[in-house]
């Protein structure tokens, strides 16, 4: 049985999963390999079975801008399936990964048949819209240093380990942080070193520990005027 049962379509019955499996296919990608390019005319929907993928775009100068990471159990590609237009971003394998490709017509048929699945997709699109709005506001109103703070806070809130501490694994590298907030690796490194000196973050062998999420949150809110 396809591993879709453990992913974002878990509310489908066994019979529905078997039906969805008929035209779906597993695909393997190596770390750094492109899954599809922006403007590609394909419209399959992909579910991440193992590892994670990264959604990216590129500036006119060719600089990579990271938009999001899709983890195991998540899905991507539904925009093109829903509106029939080309891809809005590029997607690459962040590490060696396994994904399942579901044809758009089968995906849309499942949405029509199962309101619960459709609601999950709607919530995912709502999350993407809110995240995009927050990102635009950050790029428009925050300096580079503060954008790094805001991105680190976003990741910390999603990985809390106690009331005021978060643990980020794998340890985010400076280049990835810089790509997410449209700045340079050097700026990200400088900001992270400053936070470490202040005792707000601590790097371990396998993770980044945000030791004082409240203080980091206050730094971001102070600049935003919240």
Residues 87, 155, single domain; the answer is no
Give the domain-ending residue among 90, 107, 138: 138
CATH of the domain at 106: 2.60.120.10
Instruction: Assign 225 a pLDDT band (cuts: 50, 70, 90).
Output: low
Last residue of a domain, one of 90, 112, 138: 138
Q: Is 182 left (phi over 0), alpha (psi -120 to 50) or beta?
A: left
- Entry pTM: 0.75
Q: Which domain holds residue 184?
A: 143-224
Q: Are residues 134 and 149 in the same domain?
A: no
Q: Can you tell me the mean pLDDT for 152-177? A: 91
Of 10-14, 21-25, 163-167, 198-202, the least confident: 10-14
43 shares its domain with 134: yes
Q: What is the mean pLDDT of residues 17-45?
A: 89
Number of domains in the chain: 2
- Whether residues 170 and 130 fall in one domain: no
- pLDDT tens profile 57-69: 887 777 788 888 8
Say whether pLDDT at 8 is over 80.
no
Judge if 118 and 164 occupy the same domain: no
Question: Is 128 in the same domain as 166?
Answer: no
Return the bridge partners of 144, or none: none
Last residue of a domain, one of 110, 138, 166: 138
């Amino acid at each position: 049985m396809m591993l879709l049962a453990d992913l974002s379509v878990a509310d489908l019955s066994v019979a529905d999963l078997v039906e969805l499996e008929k035209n779906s296919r597993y695909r393997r990608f190596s770390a750094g390999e492109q899954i599809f390019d922006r403007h590609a005319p394909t419209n399959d929907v992909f579910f991440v079975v193992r590892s994670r993928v990264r959604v990216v775009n590129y500036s006119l100068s060719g600089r990579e801008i990271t938009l999001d990471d899709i983890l195991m159990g998540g899905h991507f590609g539904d925009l093109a399936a829903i509106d029939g237009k080309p891809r809005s971003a590029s997607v690459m394998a962040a590490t060696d990964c396994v994904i399942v490709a579901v044809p758009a017509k089968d995906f849309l048929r499942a949405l029509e048949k199962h309101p619960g699945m459709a609601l999950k997709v709607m919530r995912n699109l709502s999350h993407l819209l809110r995240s995009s709005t927050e990102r635009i506001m950050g790029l428009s109103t925050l300096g580079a240093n503060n954008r790094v703070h805001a991105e680190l806070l976003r990741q910390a809130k999603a990985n809390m380990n106690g009331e005021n501490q978060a643990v980020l694994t794998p340890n985010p590298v400076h280049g990835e942080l810089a790509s997410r907030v449209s700045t340079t690796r050097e700026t990200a490194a400088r900001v992270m070193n400053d936070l470490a000196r202040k005792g707000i973050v601590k790097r371990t062998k396998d993770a980044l520990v945000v030791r004082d999420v409240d203080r980091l949150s206050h730094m971001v809110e102070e600049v935003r005027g919240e």
